[in-house]
Chain A
């Protein structure tokens, strides 16, 4: 197993070399806050001017310019910001480095927020990136931070800066310094090749993790982000596996007599909850990764699957057809106190608890269409975000604000399968296609990279 399906391409280790240092000499912070209210749907994205992070010249200048582009792209994709065209900027990065912003000029451009930054490489070869953020309308400085890292980590620095800006202006944590693991698909429908793949949330740094010789499904990130649990048909025995991203090592999880599938980590990363099917019955089990102890949580004669922990680890939402059709249920983490959650028309599956606990995302199948929706854990507030011929498998950005899922179209006219990844805001706005080299399904969003 280890030699045959080992990680094909070693991912560049991030090695904890990223250092966050304290803020740049900070003038008085603004009192009257510039803030995007994202509790409601955002009708108008915030116009923001992001100047080049180009340093004094040479290599730094190129990296600095690229950092600005990545920050702009991150913020734009969120749907909450509208980065302005840099060609209209009237103040150079150098002028912003040494002096105050000319607020009137930026206001005239329509900017409400302004970002300037700088990139330099020190004698030790380490790159230093700093940025400052201003509230243009109020004419006030808001925030400044400085980071240092090795130059090849410039993309991560850009995402971290974008996360800082997002957090300062929305009051919520960002989600740009994250990765996505998913199933890359190719080939004909009846012999579909599926391989694990991983990429940054903006589709960069794409790597295949398996070679496609073995059918793999439903990867999910560990809260520690260095491990993935997924399902593999290795040796034609469908079982849940653990995959270490750093080492490429894979191991089967548990010693179950039947097919295991639908795995997810507990929030502390110490357990994997999954389904086991045997003799026509599917129940939910946990495997403690430290003691290797297997515990059965459900024993209904129906199909119990799709388990997902609440962020505090106290509850598990899952799907079951025990009531006659596929619906969502919540139980205690020990299997006690099962309570039905969904009562809508149609079938409900693939529940995933939001990292901030307030919502549960699901796939609903009704009539001839599938939909992605959210519902509160108390059963109220059910909303559909997107509906299509086939959408399935939502996964949460770590801030609980954005969902990713896959969508495909009917394959009747010989086009074959064509699944692609999409993101959508929890308001149902801003649906975006996520670029992948091949067709793609079963996305799983990582936590913020530590």
Chain B
């Protein structure tokens, strides 16, 4: 099972290299040393599950890819039942600051609500919006923006 997720992550990393956002893509510098990843750790979550989902412009609904990622997240969180998480909602730079703060909060809650429906109780989850303040990728263009419109699940 774990091997399968590793393969998924590798595919996602390739995809990310082509600037195509993919819901299974995970944070930078992952998978470099897979043997050192401790099951149940934050790194395990990033490398083997995928910590983020992506949204359309000014959207906060979850794509099938996003739901697949969140299904894996929910399963992992059920396995490691003492882990608490913070869900960060982010927006691209093509919006005004305050609107994007609200939009990021919406996105974070889309993720939270989906995980709740999959059995992850609200008391394990904190949400925070960063609006357009913390882009994952620098740059101005759809390639960067599509990776910045995201919800990121961070293991506390």
A residues contacting B by CB (< 8 A) are: 188-192, 194, 215, 217-218, 236-238, 258-259, 261-262, 275, 277-282, 303, 305-306, 319, 321, 326, 347, 349-350, 363, 365, 389-390, 392-393, 410-412, 414, 416, 442
Contacts and interface: CB of A to CB of B under 8 A. Distances in A.
B102 A217 contact: no
* B interface bracket (residues with beta carbon within 8 Å of A): 20 to 34
Contacts of A410: 140-141
B57 to A, nearest CB: 11
B128 interface: yes
B109 A279 contact: yes
A277 B105 contact: yes
A281 B112 CA distance: 13
B48 interface: no
Interface string B77-112: 000000000100000011111110111011001100
Interface of A: prevailing SS: strand
Contact of B135 (A190, A279, A392): A190
Interface string B119-144: 00000000011000111111111001
Given A190-B135, A349-B98, A363-B96, A303 B129 contact: no
B102 A275 contact: yes
A412 B141 contact: yes
B60 interface: yes
11 contacts: A215-B133, A218-B98, A237-B128, A259-B129, A305-B98, A389-B140, A390-B93, A411-B139, A411-B140, A412-B139, A416-B138
Contacts of B97: 217-218, 350, 392-393, 442
Interface of B: 60, 86, 93-99, 101-103, 105-106, 109-110, 113, 128-129, 133-141, 144
Contact of A277 (B102, B136, B137, B141): B102
Contact of A303 (B93, B103, B113, B133): B103
B96 A282 contact: no
A238 B129 contact: yes
